[in-house]
A and B are shown apart, each in its own frame.
Chain A
Amino acid sequence: MRSTSEANRPVSAVDPATAEQGSTTGGVPLVQTVAPASRRVRLRDIVRSWPVARVISIRDYKVQYKQSALGPIWLVIQPLAVLAAFTVVFDSVAQVDTSGIPYPLFALVGVTVWTFTSFSIPAGARSQIANKRIIRYVDCPRIAFVTASIVASLPMLAAPLVLTVASVYLTGYHLTLNVLALPLAIAWLLLLIWAITLGLSAANVRYRDVNSVVPFLLQGGLFLTPLAYPLSAVPAGLALALSFNPFTGVVEVWRWALLGTSVDMTAVAIGLTVTAVLVVAGWQVFTRMEVRFADLI
């Protein structure tokens, strides 16, 4: 991947003087060897490819609301619609116990996590396919497409988060010192999404089945993650099973940070372990498959 490497110092096409210099002095362009390899992406490419990720994410964000009448207002409408549905089902019908916290406020945290998740995972899983032409016609750092899809999804996290914080104060509550841990909770969610989309985006290049699996996983996740109900309201055995869904731990930590609710440490420990496994697996799948993207896509 040559794109963003500072080691690659080409001469300038505009100025013939630098061309002379380039071929005779220290500014000699370095040689890149294209040879058989089982993988070529390195960890540092994530950082090096940032300029590409930046441009692609701006593009994706712009394209998202082109020819849309409401544009970014959808960022607020979508979470509010899910919240309304949750409130009808779990507060009015099922009446879950949220230990004194008004139900809409309680559910809004889960809605925030899931709005971002259900937007960023399909976008991330499509990220290589969506940039098919670039992959086929230019040698580009393909890991940047995953980074870009997450960055372009960040407004889907920021908008409902602002809504949540506003709601905390509007309902007469206030944030506790737990909120200082919110950056860590956000980081966990982002790392998890990154690991999942890294693997899915690479698998999608060869097996379009991924596009069929993702909506189904997200639908299941909507109910099998304690978004609309507290984990403490679930029978112990089932709670342990739900903890193997890493989003369970994420939501627990988010609610602890924003609402000061109690946190199930077992769920957090299992969630962190599963996240670590997914990071390693996602990286392996991506780096192994990346060398063949242009052949398979």
Chain B
Amino acid sequence: MPTSSEPRFVAAGQNGNYAVSAEHLTKSYELGELASLQRTISAVANRLLNRGDRPRGYPAVNDVTFTIAPGECFAVVGANGSGKSTLSRLIAGITLPTSGFVNVRGRVLPLLSVAAAFHPELNGRENVELFGTIIGLNRDEIAAATAEIAAFSGIDDEHLATPTKRFSEGMQARLAFAIALRLPADVYIFDEVLVVADDAFKDACAAEIKALADRGRSVIFISHELPLVRAICTRGLWIDGGRLRMVGPIDEVVSAYVASRGTDEAATE
């Protein structure tokens, strides 16, 4: 997000042809309990003793620069805790960076967790409306997509009129994916969400993700399933401890990542 002194939206075009462009993107988090009696007491004590109370920051994403082109399926690979999810939150504008910036062209549709924006008491159709409205679609756009969402998810009308808390996890995943794939956006982010889907639905989703890219949309695909990553994506980046290790063609990035894991595992054995 820009500061209030800058325009929130600037016309596209002068900065080259990109869908997502991150420059020196850095995000630090505070460690430990944010508020606790212990922390309050130590803060008061520090104030009285004239010592600074600076909680230690932990850089989850550290000086990351990359560009994603329109129509590109872009992978983000890395071990657990390497900063993949923080990166996706930054691109989606959910959280702001500590320094650096990321430019995103058009509407972002983040699917960062299955059933992330689902309200368990609302039925399938109401949840489609809720999610669609939150990402900024109007009623006509949502209505147009609803029938396709039902068709793609394979969830019948009766189930769509049932609170999603009574959906099985698999069915919630189908609905979430159908919503994400059928609502119109320019940049899609899928963060480790295909794990719960069955193989047939996974294949269907993979095909749909590629189809999105064929239509000029950009997809950011975050996954530990490397064969799936190779099948879907054309380029990608490897992030390790918050730092960018490599960005380039998907085969090179995945190979390097796999090789490093191999040596790490060998080293620990």
Interface residues of A (CB under 8 A from B): 1-5, 7-14, 16, 19-20, 22-23, 28-40, 42, 51-52, 54-56, 59, 62-63, 66, 133-140, 206-209, 291-292, 294-296
Contact = CB atoms under 8 A, between A and B. Distances in A.
Contacts of A54: 133
30 contacts: A2-B108, A13-B183, A13-B215, A14-B148, A14-B184, A19-B216, A20-B216, A30-B11, A30-B12, A31-B11, A31-B104, A32-B8, A32-B9, A32-B93, A32-B103, A32-B104, A33-B102, A34-B91, A35-B3, A36-B97, A36-B98, A37-B96, A40-B3, A51-B133, A54-B133, A59-B121, A133-B113, A138-B92, A139-B108, A294-B95
A5 B136 contact: yes
Interface stretch (B122-130, B228-236, B241-249, B259-267): B122-130
Given A5-B136, A136-B94, A39 B4 contact: yes
B31 to A, nearest CB: 12
A191 B117 CA distance: 29
Contact of B117 (A10, A16, A33, A133): A133
A37 B3 CA distance: 5
Contacts of A66: 121
Given A12-B184, A62-B122, A66-B121, A35 B101 contact: yes
A87 to B, nearest CB: 37
B185 A14 contact: no
A201 B111 CA distance: 26
Interface string B24-58: 00000110001100000000000000000000000
A36 B96 contact: yes
A6 to B, nearest CB: 9
Contact of B121 (A4, A55, A63, A296): A63
Contacts of A5: 8-9, 136
B97 to A, nearest CB: 6
B194 interface: no
B97 A35 contact: yes
Contacts of A296: 34
Interface hub of B11, B97, B121 (most chain A Cβ within 10 A): B121
Contact of B106 (A20, A29, A52, A133): A29
A137 B105 contact: no
Given A19-B216, A34-B101, A138-B135, A291 B96 contact: yes
B112 interface: yes
Contacts of A31: 9-12, 15, 103-105
> Lowest 3 CB-CB distances: which A-B pairs, in order?
A29-B106, A137-B116, A35-B101
Contacts of B104: 31-32, 34
B24 to A, nearest CB: 11
A26 B117 CA distance: 32
Contacts of B110: 137-139
Given A31-B9, A36-B101, 15 more contacts: A3-B133, A8-B136, A23-B216, A28-B12, A30-B105, A33-B1, A33-B103, A34-B91, A34-B102, A34-B104, A62-B122, A136-B94, A136-B112, A137-B110, A295-B30
B97 A34 contact: yes
Contacts of B255: none
B105 A29 contact: yes
B121 A29 contact: no
A91 B38 CA distance: 48
B202 interface: no
B134 A138 contact: yes
Contacts of A294: 89, 94-95
Given A34-B93, A59-B122, A139-B108, A16 B1 contact: no
B90 interface: yes
A34 B2 CA distance: 6
Contacts of B102: 33-35
A139 B10 contact: no
Contacts of B117: 133-134, 137-138
B203 to A, nearest CB: 20
A55 B3 contact: no
A119 B8 CA distance: 36
Q: Which of A1, A2, A136, A206 has the most CB of B within 10 A?
A: A2
A53 to B, nearest CB: 9
Contact of B93 (A36, A59, A139): A139
| Interface core residue of A23, A32, A36, A51 (most chain B CB under 10 Å) | A32
Contacts of B91: 34
A178 to B, nearest CB: 40
Contacts of B138: 51
